[in-house]
Structure 1
Amino acid sequence: MVCAATNTSADVLRGRIIPGGNLLVNVKNLFAAQDIGTALGNSFKYSIVLTLISLVICSLAGYGFEIYHDKAKDAVMSVILLAMMVPFVATMIPLFQMFSKAGWLNSTIGFILPTISTPFLIMMFRQSARSFPHDIIEAARIDGLSEIRIFFQMFMPTMRSTYAAAMTITFMNAWNNYLWPKVIMTNAKSVTMPMVVANLTQGYVTDYGMLMLAVLICTLPTAIVFFCLQKSFAEGITGAVK
């Protein structure tokens, strides 16, 4: 991918795997063909907002399901987990109709609301909350801490690795999301990076050098996030608590 981004389209089609000298030309053509600055800004804005809100909501839900445990919550959790079996395409058209009537097309709310809370993240935080010492909660209650302060001041710092893993997964899914933004973002000013990459393959002729440069730009943010958080990601997935 990196080498192809520096070659011409003909070189890419010939299978050249060594760096070329066409990088600047590909950059010039890409920025002339697509509004990369707007797409990058939109992708970062949507992904960051979705990640932050999703972490708070899903961690609160997972914490509540485990710490305040009863049979009724188990039934609700089972229903939530059943939602993982419903494909998104089955709910996409009703969601679009609802959001269109609400006036949320081409908006951040329209992008983040369908995935602001996912069964997988709720289950992940619930499993992590099972390893959270209940003695700490009881001691904090005796010291006069409210339930919300126990969550923010004690649970969240203890579960840093779980939050890192959840943040990596959520950010990567939000950044790479293509189908829902394609449906809900009807304005050219609301385009995201995956939509830009898809747009470059349309038409009679595809410039593969320029296309691979766009793919490289689209890949870098998620790769950087993963490599920066890979240790915490591994710990969070395995349920490690320090």
Structure 2
Amino acid sequence: MRKVKSFLNYFVLTVVSILSVFPLYWMAVSATNKSVDVIGGKLIPGNYLLENWKNLLQAQDVGSALINSFRNSIILTLVSLMICSIAGYGFEIYHDKAKDTVMSILLLAMMVPFVATLIPLFQMFSKMGLLNSTIGFILPTISTPFLIMLFRQSARSFPHDIIEAARIDGLGELKIFLQMFIPTMRSTYAAAMTIVFMNAWNSYLWPKVIMLSNEKITMPMMVANMLTGYVIDYGMVMLGVLVCTIPTVIVFFLLQKSFAEGITGAVK
């Protein structure tokens, strides 16, 4: 009975794994085939990869899109991690009832969809002259209630006795945060970095609204532009999707262990 149960568990996990990986496999295979083969559902790698790459470089400014996406994502990730970690640390370490009220209001903001604030944000940023700028890209998501809550929950497992001992030894609050809190919460920072980078890299709606020139195009915008027109080269499109996907896949696989530990609040 135990062997049958074990076999069924492995069988179900195998099927689910195949279903999860298949879209990635189909995307990679399609990037090596002609458009006709992609439409026909060919699942065997072809020899059209170089031709698709040449067509992609001729049709789209891939280099500029990659640079813009990397610049926006890296800047947003670094700034967001610093601001949200300081906020989460402050909410928990310097705890009082007023901060609980503020935190509750912040959590309510998670229920407001971004689309509801899109037009007011655009009007405000337009008047401030922040269109077509990296600052305009990062400001709406520079601090999110979810990340603040994540760091606050992690700060609850940070030993307060260590903080008191450090204060008695004359260590300032800034040094306690930089030299003690940040190294201890490395897994939380890794989890937050994964979330912020992937969200920033895959962001499409807000850059589409605020980036008005072709020089500021990002990778998701470039892929969307490839789907316009009367004739669509699906092999080239899938290669563009593959190029757009690779950075997020690399980041996730490099940080997957720390990501899992950070989400569960583990502290080493």
Verify: 1:71 aligned to 2:97, yes or no. yes
**1:4 is matched with which residue: 30, 33, 50?**
30
Per the alignment, residue 88 of structure 2 pairs with 62
**Which whole-Å deviations, capped at 9, do the CAs of 1:3-29 have from their partners, x for residues lacking one?**
100000000000001110110110000
**Which whole-Å deviations, capped at 9, do the CAs of 1:91-112 have from their partners, x for residues lacking one?**
0101001111111001010000
Give the alignment of 1:157-172 within 5 angstroms.
Answer: 157-172=183-198
Which structure: larger Rg?
2
Number of residue pairs matched? 242
Q: TM-score, normalised by structure 1?
A: 0.99
CA distance, structure 2, for counterparts of residue 25 and residue 120 of structure 1: 43
Verify: 1:174 aligned to 2:209, yes or no. no
Q: TM-score, normalised by structure 2?
A: 0.90
Match of 1:167, SS state, is helix
RMSD of aligned alpha carbons: 0.4
Q: By how many angstroms is 1:143 displaced? A: 1.1
Amino acid at match of 1:228: L
Amino acid at match of 1:224: I
Verify: 1:222 aligned to 2:252, yes or no. no
CA distance, structure 2, for counterparts of residue 218 and residue 236 of structure 1: 26
**Which whole-Å deviations, capped at 9, do the CAs of 1:66-110 have from their partners, x for residues lacking one?**
000000000000000000000001101010011111110010100
**1:120 is matched with which residue: 135, 139, 146?**
146
Per the alignment, residue 209 of structure 1 pairs with 235
Verify: 1:91 aligned to 2:146, yes or no. no
Q: By how many angstroms is 1:207 displaced? A: 0.6
Per the alignment, residue 40 of structure 1 pairs with 66
**1:28 is matched with which residue: 54, 59, 62?**
54
Q: By how many angstroms is 1:56 displaced? A: 0.3
Per the alignment, residue 145 of structure 1 pairs with 171
CA distance, structure 1, for counterparts of residue 183 and residue 162 of structure 2: 13
Amino acid at match of 1:211: V
Q: By how many angstroms is 1:162 displaced? A: 0.2
CA distance, structure 2, for counterparts of residue 206 and residue 84 of structure 1: 38
CA distance, structure 1, for counterparts of residue 36 and residue 47 of structure 2: 13
Amino acid at match of 2:259: F
Per the alignment, residue 108 of structure 2 pairs with 82
Match of 1:111, SS state, is helix
Match of 1:201, SS state, is coil
Verify: 1:135 aligned to 2:161, yes or no. yes
Match of 1:3, SS state, is helix
Amino acid at match of 1:159: M
Amino acid at match of 1:92: L
Amino acid at match of 1:112: I
**Gaps in structure 2 of 5+ consecutive residues:** 1-26
Per the alignment, residue 218 of structure 2 pairs with 192
Per the alignment, residue 3 of structure 2 pairs with none
